[in-house]
Chains A and B, each alone.
Chain A
Amino acid sequence: DSGVTQTPKHLITATGQRVTLRCSPRSGDLSVYWYQQSLDQGLQFLIQYYNGEERAKGNILERFSAQQFPDLHSELNLSSLELGDSALYFCASSVEYSGIATQYFGPGTRLTVL
């Protein structure tokens, strides 16, 4: 158990819908990262927040947005969902902002878009 929690574990929805994925980082971790892992593909970095502020952006679609709240939990919002958005979405957290920080991954949310 990494100490990072993600909810829900599974999510099934239809095309065109909007969903929110939630992540609670390890106690004391200020950085939260979001990743997408499509079937049989590698992890794709989406976005990073540090202490409430956006710090780095990867291959995140305009239909996707995220935020980190004052209690440090984070939400990833996915809208106008398409079949291709079906994937595992992982959240990770780390204590520091620096590039050397060890990231601890949550168990993931499996999103299925029908």
Chain B
Amino acid sequence: KNQVEQSPQSLIILEGKNCTLQCNYTVSPFSNLRWYKQDTGRGPVSLTIMTFSENTKSNGRYTATLDADTKQSSLHITASQLSDSASYICVVSEGGNKLVFGAGTILRVKS
């Protein structure tokens, strides 16, 4: 069964600190992997999209990595800000626009 598992389920960090969120997937075939940020009660916003040939992609303070061999991805957030508090969702595309969503990691950044 195609699955996307994220860890940790939730995380609390101090403002200014770095953190890394993990994503493991068993989706096959694999087309691409995306990270989304979802603020409470709002629609997700795309952070990065990576194909199997890309192993790192950055978007400001967000850096995603992908290891297609081990089927793992991570999202690293540098110098966290209060506005980074949100749910971060890992999404893997089977191709043909079928997306498999992870349950998300809830990040809380506190001052």
Interface residues of B (CB under 8 A from A): 31-32, 41-46, 49, 51, 89, 93-104
The answer to whether the Cβ of A107 comes within 8 Å of any Cβ in the partner chain is yes
Query: Known contacts A41-B103, A43-B89, A108-B43; is A58 also within 8 Å of B98 by CB?
Result: yes
Q: How far is the CA of A97 from the CA of B31 in the complex (A)?
A: 14
Best-buried of A45, A101, A103 by chain B (most CB within 10 Å)? A103
Secondary structure of the B side of the interface? Answer: strand
Chain A residues near B43: list those with CB within 8 A.
2, 4, 90, 92, 105-108
- The 4 A-B residue pairs with the shortest CB-CB distance in the complex, in nearest-first order: A105-B43, A42-B103, A99-B31, A43-B101
Q: Are B42 and A107 in contact (CB under 8 A)?
A: yes
Q: Are B97 and A55 in contact (CB under 8 A)?
A: yes
Among B41, B45, B97, B102, which residue has its beta carbon within 8 angstroms of that of A105?
Answer: B45
